């Protein structure tokens, strides 16, 4: 603390700082002469502070280690000070001037009694035990949720994907998972990790498309304290460090710019990283699983993706099939989703009508399983118990939606049901157009508001 700073601090504030009862400080100069003693040290030294000023610290306490701190310039934190049959946990810290020269040392209290330290140790042990417990619970949740037997489907394409995943889990080679959005690439990545020898080790997910280019290196490789403006004063480990011993999942790896592809390739090849602002290379042990919904071969032809990175990633290739390619699995997947909603207490619906299932089987599902899950959740909420019927399905699905591939024609429903279905779609369209305003919707439909309310109740559109 410079003289100018001291001059700016009010004396009563400076005195309160030094006389802080929670630290009970004693300050010596470079010769070991006591220059300041907190009034709260009297309980320990049993000598009035004014009688200690000007005396050598060893005269007051022959076992004091402040002279060693003055000699070595190294702090001693958490040491035990014994005197007069009493024990205290203290810190001894050298005091240096602006030139780095040792001009004194300070001894300060950390704990008045060892029981306080023991209580702190007990609390730390409790926290560690809780952490172990929650880690085991989390491991159990992930193992149940992402086990390969949780991947629903018995179609040839799905069986092939499961077989490749099982083979990949037996090795430690890099895996490239390709497939459209919503086809369960992350589920397969988790399953491979859970079945591998790295099971129980970290599984670190990185969404390559979500990290800004300027933050990519600091996020993946970490940084040292003060590496750049705004950096944490403690530094930060990168994703690869966090995945040491386990698996790093690089999702959307096809969205990386070329400049970052080079850096990623080097880390994967060398299995080592160097933090930003650091000078030390960290040798790591991690397995890479990458995923993308883009055609990397086409990108290579357009020079938008590096060949060397592609071939480094594409050792084990696993393709997750689109839902329109495994229509025979749609009933299994739909009932699996419905069962999960029922078990979570989110729905009492436990059946899907044959007509509704047929409609779902004839839909192209551009959003794949993710879209199917949304449709089932929404239909179950509308159905309110009983069964999901086709009138509970979204209008876009019933009308076929854009992008529907050629499908066998559906057998017409009885005229009354077709008319009811059409009427329901028109009412939903009017409500969407008016933002849910029933009065305006009734006006658009040319019916009385009371009549609209009756139809809303009849079609369970409340």
Contact 111/31 with Cβ under 8 angstroms? no
Average pLDDT of the chain? 83
**Region of poorest pLDDT, from 102-106, 227-231, 315-319:** 227-231
Strands 34-37 and 236-237: unpaired
**Region of poorest pLDDT, from 107-111, 117-121, 216-220, 414-418:** 117-121
CA distance 301 to 316: 21
In 112-209, the DSSP E strands lie at: 175-178, 203-207
The residues with which 222 forms a beta bridge, in sequence order, are: 237
Which tens digits make up the pLDDT trace of 410-445?
456 577 767 777 788 788 778 877 777 888 888 888
Q: How confident is the model at residue 118 (pLDDT cuts 50, 70, 90)?
A: low
Answer whether residue 462 shows pLDDT above 50. Answer: yes
> How large is the C-alpha radius of gyration of the chain?
34
Cα angle for residues 292, 257, 188 (degrees, 5° grid): 15
The pLDDT of residue 13 is 73
The pLDDT of residue 215 is 86
Cβ contacts of 153 within 8 Å, gap of 6 or more: 159, 326, 329, 332, 333
- Closest Cα partner for 41 from 16, 13, 21? 21
The pLDDT of residue 404 is 41
The pLDDT of residue 401 is 44
Answer whether residue 446 shows pLDDT above 60. Answer: yes
Q: Return the SS3 of 135.
A: helix
Most confident region among 220-224, 370-374, 454-458 by mean pLDDT: 370-374
Find the mean pLDDT for residues 282-307.
Answer: 94
Answer whether residue 407 shows pLDDT above 50. Answer: no
Answer whether residue 241 shows pLDDT above 60. Answer: yes
Find the mean pLDDT for residues 154-182.
Answer: 94
Which tens digits make up the pLDDT trace of 71-104?
999 988 877 777 666 677 788 999 998 888 999 9
Q: Return the SS3 of 243.
A: coil
pLDDT, greater one: 38 or 376: 376
Cα angle for residues 366, 367, 370 (degrees, 5° grid): 155
Annotated domain spans of the chain:
3-112, 147-321, 324-458
Q: How confident is the model at residue 365 (pLDDT cuts 50, 70, 90)?
A: very high
Q: How confident is the model at residue 406 (pLDDT cuts 50, 70, 90)?
A: very low
Which tens digits make up the pLDDT trace of 36-75?
888 777 566 777 888 889 999 998 888 888 999 999 999 8
CA distance 351 to 313: 43
Which tens digits make up the pLDDT trace of 130-160?
676 566 655 655 554 567 777 888 899 999 9
Contact 353/388 with Cβ under 8 angstroms? yes
The pLDDT of residue 409 is 45
The pLDDT of residue 125 is 63
pLDDT, greater one: 289 or 224: 289
The pLDDT of residue 175 is 97
Q: How confident is the model at residue 267 (pLDDT cuts 50, 70, 90)?
A: very high
Under CATH, domain 147-321 is a member of which superfamily? P-loop containing nucleotide triphosphate hydrolases (3.40.50.300)
Provide CATH code, domain 3-112. 3.30.450.20
CA distances from 257 to 179, 210, 218, 248, 295 (A): 20, 12, 16, 19, 15
**Region of poorest pLDDT, from 26-40, 138-152, 255-269, 369-383:** 138-152
Domain 324-458 has CATH 2.70.240.10: no
Answer whether residue 164 shows pLDDT above 90. Answer: yes
pLDDT, greater one: 359 or 141: 359
Element (H, E) at 283: strand 281-283
| 147-321 matches 324-458 in fold | no
Q: How confident is the model at residue 124 (pLDDT cuts 50, 70, 90)?
A: low
The pLDDT of residue 311 is 94
Contact 424/461 with Cβ under 8 angstroms? yes
How much of the chain, in percent, has pLDDT values that exceed 70? 81
How many other β-carbons are positioned within 10 Å of the β-carbon of residue 291? 26
């Amino acid at each position: 603390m410079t003289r100018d700073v001291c001059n700016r601090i009010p004396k009563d504030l400076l005195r309160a700082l030094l006389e802080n009862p929670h630290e009970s400080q004693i300050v010596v100069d470079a010769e070991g002469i006591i220059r300041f003693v907190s009034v709260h040290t009297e309980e320990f030294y049993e000598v009035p502070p004014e009688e200690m000023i000007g005396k050598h610290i060893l005269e007051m306490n022959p076992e004091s280690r402040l002279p060693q701190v003055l000699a070595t310039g190294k702090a001693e934190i958490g040491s035990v000070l014994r005197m007069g049959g009493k024990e205290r946990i203290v810190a001894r810290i050298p005091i240096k001037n602006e030139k780095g020269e040792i001009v004194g040392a300070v001894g300060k209290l950390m704990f008045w009694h060892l029981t306080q330290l023991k209580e702190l140790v007990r609390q730390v042990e409790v926290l560690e035990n809780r952490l172990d417990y929650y880690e085991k619970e989390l491991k159990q949740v992930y193992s149940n949720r992402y086990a390969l037997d949780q991947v629903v489907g018995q179609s040839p394409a799905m069986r092939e994907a499961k077989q490749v995943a099982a083979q990949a889990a037996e090795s430690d080679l890099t895996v490239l998972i390709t497939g459209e959005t919503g086809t369960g690439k992350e589920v397969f990545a988790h399953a491979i990790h859970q079945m591998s020898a790295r099971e129980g080790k970290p599984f670190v997910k990185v969404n390559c498309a979500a990290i800004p280019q300027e933050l990519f290196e600091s996020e993946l490789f970490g940084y040292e304290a003060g590496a750049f403006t705004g950096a944490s004063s403690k530094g930060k480990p990168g994703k690869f460090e966090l995945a040491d011993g386990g698996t790093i999942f690089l999702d959307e790896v096809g969205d990386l710019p070329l400049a970052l592809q080079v850096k990623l390739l080097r880390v994967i090849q060398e299995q080592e990283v160097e933090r930003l602002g650091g000078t030390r290379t960290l040798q790591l042990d991690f397995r890479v699983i990458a995923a993308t919904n883009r055609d990397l071969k086409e990108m290579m032809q357009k020079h938008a993706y590096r060949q060397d990175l592609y071939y480094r990633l594409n050792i084990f290739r696993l393709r997750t099939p689109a839902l329109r390619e495994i229509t025979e699995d749609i009933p299994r997947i739909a009932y699996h989703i419905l069962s999960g909603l029922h078990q979570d207490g989110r729905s009492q619906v436990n059946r899907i009508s044959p007509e509704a299932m047929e409609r779902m089987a004839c839909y192209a599902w551009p959003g794949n399983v993710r879209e199917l899950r949304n449709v089932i959740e929404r239909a179950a909420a509308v159905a309110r118990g009983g069964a999901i019927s086709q009138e509970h399905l979204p209008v876009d699905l019933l009308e076929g939606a854009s992008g529907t591939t050629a499908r066998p024609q559906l057998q017409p429903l009885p005229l009354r049901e077709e008319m009811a279905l059409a009427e329901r779609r028109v009412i939903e369209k009017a409500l969407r157009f008016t933002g849910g305003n029933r009065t305006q919707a009734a006006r658009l439909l040319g019916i009385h508001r009371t009549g609209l309310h009756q139809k809303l109740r009849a079609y369970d559109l409340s």
